[in-house]
Amino acid sequence: MSLGLYLHIPYCFSKCRYCDFYSAPGQRGVPRAYVDALLRELSRFAPDAPLRPDTLYFGGGTPSLLDPADAARLIAAAQPLPGAEITLEANPETVTEDSLRAFREAGVNRISFGVQSARDSQLKTLGRPHTAKQARAAFAAARRAGFENLSGDIMLALPHYTQTEFDETLELIEDGGAAHISAYLLKIEPDSAFGRTPPEGLPTSDEAADFYLYAVEQLEHHGYRQYEISNFARPGYEGKHNLIYWDCGDYLGIGPAAHSCMGGKRFYYPADTEAFLRDEAAPVMDGGCGAEDYLILQLRLRKGLSLDEYKKRYGREFSTTQLAFVQNCVKSGYANFDGHTLALTPAGLIVQNSILAELL
């Protein structure tokens, strides 16, 4: 069984207006005490032997605020398997060729840049601290530093959004050498700045769906194959870490607000950085991961849900009523089904929640 290790770095320059992830804004670096706290927790989960994860993911926050030497300490403590995918999320304004080269020497072999848009006016609306010029420079610096596995995050259906803005953003990331692209529809979260004061010019739900379908079509045309509802990659560059999540594998998340699922049991750290630093934030049990979770997560993937694997893992089979509903989804263009594997089409992924409500 594969193991994915996630290390949460909550520190960032400032809070983006759409963000409701747990983070600690107003920081220009990651305190050494926080790195020591992560090392402390790593030793607790692996007191007698290293974890040897198949993937290691530095998420945030802004993990590129880490000192590369501290990233090296964390990677050394985890002792990932040879050939493990080791990803660092990075904001374009926080990296240089020297820092990227140092991260690569530390063991990082995949960089995921938060780009979001190629338009500076849009970046300002989102509260992003970088410019399109800095994003282009970051990709170029990463290539010069020796990175071949590059990813870029973009957002769709932003205020006053157009297909032309998507085209410009795709061009920036593709020209930057990205082999992987994550494309997310903007979601207004209640606890975000946008949730408190929604921006003007938001697309309707139908317009957002059209932008999503256009993005899928264009990304596929440019050689980025959709393998998950929001993720696209050139062959061989699919994100291995997140695939562990979607396949209901074991993953360990360390840091405030980090979630884990090990041996079918879920747990998480409280969202409190100060308590984590003081060693007063023990993981909280959060139920299990079972058949419903597997069905939901597999239907995020374009490869879909194998009914044979579903039965093998959980002893579950679709009822006559469920199978009839699946056939209706096929007729409506929302799914493909060959009797063994149920896979949602891009149109089906848009209405995924409605489909799941009938299948669960």
Q: Are residues 137 and 208 in the same domain?
A: yes
pLDDT confidence of 296, banded at 50, 70, 90? Answer: very high
What's the rounded mean pLDDT across residues 160-189?
97
Domain that holds residue 322: 291-359
pLDDT score of 47: 80
pLDDT score of 245: 96
Q: Are residues 102 and 191 in the same domain?
A: yes
164-167 long-range contacts (CB < 8 A, ≥24 apart) are: 165/117, 165/118, 165/119, 165/122, 166/211, 166/214, 166/215, 166/218, 167/218
User: If residue 73 lies in a helix (H) or strand (E), which one and from where to where?
Assistant: helix 68-78
pLDDT score of 27: 83
* Percent of all residues in the chain with a pLDDT value above 90, rounded to a whole number: 92
pLDDT at 305 over 80: yes
What pairing do the DSSP bridges indicate for beta strands 225-228 and 231-233? antiparallel
pLDDT at 1 over 80: no
What's the rounded mean pLDDT across residues 291-304?
97
pLDDT at 82 over 90: yes
* Percent of all residues in the chain with a pLDDT value above 70, rounded to a whole number: 100
pLDDT at 49 over 80: no
Residue 110's φ and ψ, nearest 5 degrees, are -145, 130
271 assigned to some structural domain: no
Of 187, 211, 244, the position where a domain reaches its end is: 244
36 assigned to some structural domain: yes
User: If residue 59 lies in a helix (H) or strand (E), which one and from where to where?
Assistant: strand 55-60
CATH number, domain of 308, equals 1.10.10
Q: If we measure between CA atoms, which residue out of 310, 308, 301 comes closest to residue 336?
A: 301
321-350: pLDDT as tens digits: 999 999 999 999 999 999 999 999 999 999
pLDDT at 197 over 80: yes
Mean pLDDT computed over every residue of the chain: 96
Of 177, 210, 244, the position where a domain reaches its end is: 244
Q: Are residues 347 and 239 in the same domain?
A: no
252 assigned to some structural domain: no
pLDDT score of 34: 97
Rounded Cα gap, residues 270 and 244, in angstroms: 23
Q: Are residues 120 and 225 in the same domain?
A: yes
